[in-house]
Structure 1
Amino acid sequence: MKPLAWTRQFVERNGWPLAAYIVLAVSFWVLVLIVLPQLVMVDFSLRFDLPPAKQGGPEDVWTLANYRYFLFGPPGDPLGWNYVDLAVFARTLIAAVFVTLFDLAICYPIAYYLAQAASVRAARMLAVALVIPYWVNEILRAFAFRIIFGTGGLINTLLLTIGLVDQPIDFIRANVALYAGLSYAYVLLMVFPIYNAIESLDRNQIEAARDLGAPWWRIHWRVVIPFAKPGITSGCTMVFMLAAGALAAPQILGGPSSLWFTQIIYRTFFESVNWPRGAAYAVILLVVCTLLVLLVMRLFKVRLGEVGR
């Protein structure tokens, strides 16, 4: 549809006052709360870490030193590469992918049951059961997971009681609590996009495939999943981006030897008070995560417009 025709249809459907309000609200949201802060962050990342007296002076010029530091560490480092930050960055992305796949494996059956199999009453009760726990603050949920997975927590107590283990398992040090907490934190962001996609699928297609003798796994592989691909992509994108950028859960649930890349960013900003380097690290995380998402969308042949439906 041409932009002019789409604009005319949008105004006719909503009326001038509501259409103008929507355009202004969305423009304010995108420009003031998203684009401008990111541009400021990029500008920060291209600056030297100068004292306030020198900021704006002849030494305050753009530089790629903060990005070089991420790759190669401080100048003159004999190692040649910034192995610590690069390893933490790679581990964060791999962990975010794991959390995304784990959430997808859990949430796809739930979304399918809600959309196609459950009665209206059962679907409402299950939806309420999914939503109510998220009335609790994210920080409190993270501390609850730390208590549950602690050496004296519910899981270890149960395992010791039934005799499956002889001594408590340190789930915190093994990062089990961290992955479980992150996976639980973003369940709704995975369930409802997939549910919205599967709900619009005509049940007759599923019945036709079943009548033709297709097993259940082939019905999902050839009928349901291709149709729900935009919803799956939307859910995976949100979970991956939020898991890679999480801070509270890694701080609370991470073991003593684990480190999330966002923790490095936080420490660079507020402990080292090096805002240009912290901004560079934040920009790197944003750009790499965005490129990974776009690459996966291209591999699975999902267009951006389909995700936004």
Structure 2
Amino acid sequence: MELTDQIESNSLFELYKALNLSVSLFDLTEGFTIFNLNEVGFELPYKSASFRPNFFSFLFVKEGKGQYRIDEHSFEVEPHSIYFTNPSNYRTFSWREIQDIVLITFDETFLKKYIGEDVYTDFPFLLSEVVRPKVVTDNFFLETDSINRQILKEYRKNTPSRYKIIGHLLAVLLFKIKEHIWTDYNPIYEGNRSSQIVISFKRLLEQHYRDLNSGKIDMAFRVQDYANAQNLHPNYLSSVIKSKTGKNIMAWIAEKTLTEAKSLLQNASIPVKEITYKLGFTETAHFSNFFKKHEGISPIQYRKSHHL
């Protein structure tokens, strides 16, 4: 089994289908999944094609051997190691042995909905470009393994509150990881100017949309504004973002706008007109056209699908 095509932005649902996993537990309205790779039935040795997902992921390797590659950097998979990736770079996994490996994936909408709008303030490493895999102590791995088992148990339940519970458990897991891994975080590209530009852009993008949402500002940034914030020419900023992430700057801005829109639309108390202005659109029709172009349905239809 192999991901034969290089995918520009592989969604969670596409990941399930590519790995021949059952989609019976997959909820298209919620961006979260968890499964153990020993359930997939890989034909070993296995190697995936290079792909760039549009979600965050944590890989908890209790027992297994293989290799993880992000862009030109490779890491050997070791027992009791934790791997983290975010929607940024191309990556490849290869496996020689799989005994007990848990993969947790989630998107930004899930984070904002179930953990909170300040998620990147609490967990800044989520915005970092690349985080080195970490081999942890037996005691710490047992702690994370216990939380993962609880998350998996809740995920398999078809209860109205399962994602709220999972959100709380995921927050606990992220705080544990922050305390034990982030304290001595050592990014691959430490000191690399291009990577610092990318990280600064991501943080500014996040802060800008928080300010729009809260009403601190009422005008959406243009590429020129993001460039001015780092004293860069907009063409240079665009070039760096594209070369380092594989995605142009307008796509980053559009995806961020869409994520915030979906999060706001799930709150039925906020009128669509208010959301329109919160996200920097001058007319509701402009916002509706933007949303429908990317989601295939109108903001009203999206809201209705979450409040049946």
Q: What TM-score, normalized to structure 2?
A: 0.23
Question: Between Structure 1 and Structure 2, which shows a larger proportion of strand residues?
Answer: 2
Question: Between Structure 1 and Structure 2, which shows a larger proportion of helix residues?
Answer: 1
Larger radius of gyration: 1
Q: What TM-score, normalized to structure 1?
A: 0.23
